[in-house]
Amino acid sequence: MASLRDIRVTLYTAVAAILVLIGFLTLTHRPSIQSLHHPLPSHASNTFTHHPAPSAVTAPIPTKSNHPEETEPGKEKLAYVTWLSSTVVGENSENLDEDKYFIGTRILVWQLLHYSKTKTDGIDVVVVVTPDVSESRRERLRKDGAIVRPIDFVHGKNDKWLHPKEDRWNDIMSKLRVWEMEEYSRILMLDGDMILQHPLDGIFEDPASKIATRLRNASNPEDEPDIPDEYLLASIGEVAGADHAFPPDWDHGLKKFGYFCAGFFMLKPNKKIFNYYTALLDIENRFDPKYMEQNLLNYAHRWDGPMPWKELAYTWNIRSVNDNDLDKGVASMHEKWWENPLSDSERVRGIFQSVRWQMEGYYLAQDELHK
């Protein structure tokens, strides 16, 4: 009798074969795609303002390639950025089909660049990679269409006190390098484990995504360096679990008042603020290192400080997604696609598997065409 693993392998192979066929048909006979509007509901009470989430729009197929030097003169340069390091893999195996975070990164890139339901209309898609990410992974991401940007690790001069909750986060401070990418005016930073349901381009029109001026009626301690006059940090509160209201608020579903999730946030690159962050690494116990860069950023952008973070509409992203979130039109889900959803929703799990294999089929078809 065939084992469950054999049955799964056979099933996945069959699904991949079907998706390869669909990919070929799509590539050889692509009908015109008209923009479809997916209105998102207004989000809940906001600490700073009350505003509805902008309508998410399915973008037409971009006519220009995904390279930063091709930005039109006078047009704001925007980017979606995600971070990849070998520490999240557990081992530097060259079996890319078993690297869950790498596959997740490929899924995100595919959704942003190629999937008609969620693709961007010309915004750059960048994967920043630490020195230990293999060349085979980098090359695969380039073939997938991403801009691959190598970065160095980030360490302080006196950061021995930094001990994250999990070893796989040892190099996660390197995410701060995104603030050095000053060729972009604004960046949406996303963890690699994101599944999209609607396009995200409209998030750059969210009122919270506008560049802010530092507050002069609040200050940082004297042992910290100066901060810029302008900054941007917009995010969403950390969701406590799958049993939350939609949109969640500080009384129903969010974990800790004023505490945001560093898996999904918007920023304005600025080397001065990067230097400010890295200086904090040398000040022992200035923030709780348990969640590394998330707690550093929450300290730097605390609501009673000079650079308070702003709340984006929760319709843009939810962690620990449930069926009600889907019904209300959430644009993206922060979930590990290879695990059972915390909500135990079969519907959510089905979306994860569908997107994973659609991505695989699309790229298999592309690879065959370009042999």
First to last CA, the chain: 38
The residue with greater pLDDT, 44 or 249, is 249
Over residues 88-104, mean pLDDT: 75
The tens digit of pLDDT for each residue in 132-176 reads 999 999 999 999 999 999 999 987 676 665 655 455 545 788 999
pLDDT at 29 (0 to 100) = 38
pLDDT at 164 (0 to 100) = 54
> Is-contact 365 359, C-beta < 8 A?
no
> Is-contact 355 111, C-beta < 8 A?
yes
Among 15-24, 91-100, 200-209, 285-294, the range with the most confident prediction by mean pLDDT is: 200-209
The tens digit of pLDDT for each residue in 6-62 reads 444 344 445 455 554 444 343 333 333 222 223 333 333 333 333 333 333 322 222
What percent of the chain shows pLDDT beyond 90?
A: 61
Instruction: Give me the helix-helix angle, 100-113 and 135-144, nearest 10°.
Output: 20
**What does the DSSP assignment read for 163-223?**
--SSGGGTTGGGGGGGGG-TT-SEEEEE-S-EEESS--GGGGGSGGGS-EEPPTT----TT
Distance of CA 254 to the CA centre of its chain: 19
> Is-contact 244 228, C-beta < 8 A?
no
Over residues 226-230, mean pLDDT: 96
Fold of 41-346: Spore Coat Polysaccharide Biosynthesis Protein SpsA; Chain A (3.90.550)
The tens digit of pLDDT for each residue in 306-349 reads 999 999 999 999 999 999 999 999 999 998 888 888 899 999 99
pLDDT at 74 (0 to 100) = 62
Among 28-42, 184-198, 238-252, the range with the most confident prediction by mean pLDDT is: 184-198
What is the reported pTM?
0.80
Is the pLDDT confidence value at 292 over 80? no
Over residues 112-126, mean pLDDT: 97
Distance of CA 150 to the CA centre of its chain: 18
pLDDT at 313 (0 to 100) = 96
Hey, where are the domains in the chain? 41-346
